[in-house]
Amino acid sequence: MKILVAIKRVVDFNVRVQVKPDGSDVATDGVKMSINPFDEIAIEEALRLKEAGKADEVIVATIGTNDAQQQLRTALAMGADRAILVESDSEIQSLKAATSLLSIAKKEQVGLVIMGKQAIDDDNNQTPQMLATLWKRPQATFVSKLEINDDKALATREIDAGLETIEVTLPAVISTDLRLNEPRFVKLPDIMKAKRKPLDVINIDETINDFNDTPLSIVKYESPQPRQKGIMVESVDELIAQLKEKGLV
């Protein structure tokens, strides 16, 4: 079985994000870029399944500019067998990303697609669900435990009421939650080995035929307003009066 892992290049989660002075975008010049943290968990889970004999090959793919090769090489250093860069100079939104990944999944005849539940830059939490719908295959989202038995996947997922365990038939789409695993550290020898692993670059037009959509247009970015200084009140009556004055009660 082949496993396809979809990843995304994002600003590293340790970086304090800054908005450009004109509000047109987030400043990325000189900023550390990394694999989306949820996608790192997806890579780790795919590697563990392969090490357990449940898969034969782990393929990692991303959509973006040529700079995203850096994150693909990191995934290869973690242990992925090969990588695919779907090159696009424009911002790709969820439906287009899902359509492109569908083309790769069909071409590679994968038995499982694993990806993070969401990317930390846009927090859309849409692509896994869209991919499963387009592929007409079952899905398990927000997975915190995964077991593969022949052509079935037993997934424990996090829901509002607690935990839910479902069984899906492969091929399927899995989206990972934080508690699924702890991604491994990349060692220097593995980084050197990753340079010799295959990395294919294709244009996004090769994965999408006659794709027509009306993409969302982001009008402006702005930083959150600074938190206002709190005030001390002497009594409950004064607290209620302050809340009424601010229109909160």
Q: 3-class SS at 188?
A: helix
Q: Could you list the mean pLDDT of each consecutive 10-residue stretch along the chain, which spans 249 residues?
A: 95 86 82 93 96 95 94 95 93 90 95 94 90 96 94 92 93 94 92 92 87 76 82 90 87
The type of residue at 121 is: D
Dist. CA 6–CA 42, nearest whole Å? 8
Dist. CA 64–CA 43, nearest whole Å? 18
Q: What is the pTM of this model?
A: 0.85
Question: In DSSP terms, which residues pair with 4 in a beta bridge?
Answer: 59, 113
The CA R_g of the chain, rounded to the nearest whole Å, is 21
Dist. CA 13–CA 7, nearest whole Å? 15
- What is the set of domains in the chain, with CATH numbers? 2-220 (3.40.50.620)
- What count of Cα atoms within 13 Å lies in the side-chain half-sphere of residue 210? 0
Contact 138, 132 (CB under 8 A): yes
Q: What pLDDT was estimated at residue 205?
A: 87
